[in-house]
Amino acid sequence: MDPHANVEVTVNGVRHRRAVEPRLLLSDFLRHELGLTGTHVGCEHGVCGACTVLLDGDAVRSCLMFAVQADGHDVTTVEGLSDGSGETLHPLQAAFREAHGLQCGFCTPGVLMTLVPFLREHPDPDERQIREALSGNLCRCTGYQNIVAAVRLACGAPSSPRA
């Protein structure tokens, strides 16, 4: 049996086709095949949340999926949130910068990708909801306080989150 399988996946609006080993994790595919290294890997067993991406709009752990399983699907990574140049930030990104919602920034892409669909469903969350939404993403630097503050700031921002 040919050890490689084809995967055709749309990432941040761009279609990619590759032949990969079925065992290649989606996280490794995004980072090392497509060079989208904004998606980080922290535990590879689905706990830390750093590798969170959107699969057809829903947040999933990219370390708990094989790349081949994304065949025919739509993936959004942190690189897809802003315009790519870094000049224009997504409102949530801007709020994180404003509220000091990140320190080392390693967990941040996963946190953002968790929050984008959460805020789509809960445009005006209370603190408990925000903290529960964040509870699947580990951050060792911030103590979460300023992440919560950033989410609140983002909810008050004039433009609503995209993606």
Partner 1 sequence: MRRSEDARLLTGRALFVDDVRLDGMLHVAFLRSQHAHARLTSVDASAARGRPGVVAVYTAADLGDYWRPGPLLVPPPPIAGLVFNPCTQVPLAKDKVRHVGEAVAMVVAESRYLAEDALDDIVVEAEPLPAVVDLEAALAPGTPRVHEHLPSNLAAHAVQRKGDYARAKARAHAIIKRRFRYDRGASAAIENRAVAAHWDQRAEELTVWDTTQAPIPIRNGLAQLLGLLESQVRVVAPYVGGGFGPKIMMFYPEEVLVPWAAMRLGRPVKWTEDRQENFFATTQERGQIHDAELAVAKDGTVLGVKDVFLHDTGAYDPYGLTVPINSQCTLLGPYDIPSYESEFTAVFTNKTIVTPVRGAGRQHGVFVIERLLDFAARELGIDRAEIRRRNLLRPDQFPFNNDILFQDSAPLTYDSGDYEPALDAALKAIDYGRFVREEQPRLRAAGRHVGIGVVCYVEGTGIGPYEGARVTVEPSGRVRLATGVGTQGQGHFTVFAQIVAEVLGVDAGEVHVVTGDTREFHWGTGTFASRGAVVAGSACHAAAVAVRAKVLDLASRELEAAAADLVLDGGRVHVRGDPGGGLALGALALKANPLRGAVRPGTEPGLEATAYFGPDRGSTANGVHAMVVEVDPETAQVEIKRYVVVHDCGRVINPMIVEGQIHGGVAHGIGNAFYEQLVYDEEGQLLNASFMDYLLPTATDVPNVETTHRETPSPLNPVGAKGVGEAGAIPTGALFAQAVEDALADTGVEIREIPLSPNRLFELMQEAR
Partner 2 sequence: MKPAPFDYFTPATLDEALALLAEHGADAKPLAGGQSLIPAMNFRLARPAALVDLNRVGELSYIRSERDGRGGGATAIGAMTRQRAVERSELVARAAPLLAEAMPSIAHPQIRNRGTVGGSIAHADPSAELPAVMLALEARFRARSATGERSVPASEFFKGLLETALQPGELLVEIAVPPLLPRSGTAFLELARRHGDYALVGVAAVVTLDARGRCTAARITFLSVGDGPVLATEAGKTLAGQALSEELLRAAADAAATRDVDPPSDIHASAAYRRQLVAVLTRRALARAFERAEGNPS
Q: How far is the CB of 88 from partner 2 (least distance, A)?
A: 27
CA distance 26 to 24: 6
Q: Any contact of residue 42 with partner 2 (CB under 8 A)?
A: no
Among 78, 115, 116, 155, binds partner 1 (CB under 8 A): 78
CA distance 134 to 101: 12
Q: Any contact of residue 75 with partner 1 (CB under 8 A)?
A: no
Q: Any contact of residue 162 with partner 2 (CB under 8 A)?
A: no
Q: Helices (H), strands (E): how many in the chain?
A: 5, 5
Q: How far is the CB of 85 from partner 1 (least distance, A)?
A: 8
List of E strands, the chain = 5-11, 14-20, 52-55, 58-61, 74-76
Q: Any contact of residue 103 with partner 1 (CB under 8 A)?
A: yes
Q: How far is the CB of 67 from partner 2 (least distance, A)?
A: 11
Among 28, 78, 107, 149, binds partner 2 (CB under 8 A): 28
Q: Any contact of residue 140 with partner 2 (CB under 8 A)?
A: no
User: CB of 105 within 8 A of CB of 139?
Assistant: no
Q: Any contact of residue 38 with partner 1 (CB under 8 A)?
A: yes
CA distance 28 to 103: 24
